Amino acid sequence: MRVHVADHPLITHKLTVLRDRETPSPVFRSLVEELMTLLAYEGTRGVRVAEVEIETPVAVTTGVRIAEPKPLIVPILRAGLGMLEGMVKLLPSAEVGFLGMARDEETLQPTTYAERLPDDLSNRQCFVLDPMLATGGSLIAAIDFLLARGATDVTAICILAAPEGLKAVEEALHGRDVTVVLGAVDERLNEQGFIVPGLGDAGDRLYGTV
C-alpha cells in the first residue's frame, strides 16, 4: 500500500477554512470541490493511458488518452458526494458508481446499505472518495468490496486522516494494490471516533443534519 500526503500551500489554506466551525455550508461545499480537484490531480498520477496518433494543424504526432476500461469513481455516501464534482471535472471520461455506508456510533463499525456498481470490475482502476479516514472501517470495507469484484488497483482519496485509521487500513490491506492520497494527517481520534483537530462531521457540514 502506498500513502501520499499532498503537501501544497493551497491545500493547507483550503483545509484551514474547512476546519473553521464558522464556515457556512455553501462555502464548505465549494471548498471541498476545489480541494478535491487538487487532491484528484495527485491521485490520478497513475491513471492508465494508451498511446493515440493525432494530427495537429502542423504535423502528425503521438499523444495519450485515458485507457479502456474507463476508470470508476466511487464516492462513499453521503459525504463522498461532496467530493464527486471536483473529481469528475478532472476525469470527465470516468464512470461513477456509489457505495452507501453508515457507521454505528457505538461500535464504530460500518454497514453497507446501498450499492450501485458493476458486478464485474475486472481490470478496472477505481477511485474511492471519502472525506474522513477516521477509524478506517468504512474505507477498508469499501476497498474490500471493490477488490472482491475484480478491481485491479484502487486509489482512495481523503481530505483528512487520523493516524489510527491510516494504520488500520495499512494493516488490513497489506499486500494489496492500493494507494491512499490525503490532504493531511491529523493528531489522533477522540473517544467518539472523530478526528482531532479535524473539521467535525463532514456530511453534516456539507448537507446539514437531516
| Residue 201 appears among annotated catalytic residues | yes
Cα distances from 26 to residues 46, 53, 80, 205, 206, in angstroms, run 32, 43, 16, 9, 8
Contacts of 22 (CB under 8 A, 6+ apart): none
Q: Which residue among 19, 48, 103, 149 is the active-site one?
A: 103
Q: Give the whole-angstrom CA distance, residue 103 versus residue 51.
A: 43
Residue ranges of E strands in 46-193: 49-55, 60-66, 72-77, 95-96, 98-103, 110-116, 125-129, 132-133, 153-161, 178-185, 188-189
- 144 catalytic per annotation: no
Q: Which residues pair with 182 in a beta bridge?
A: 5, 158
- Is 103 a known active-site residue? yes
Out of 107, 111, 120, 176, which one is annotated catalytic? 107
- Active-site positions? 103, 107, 201, 204
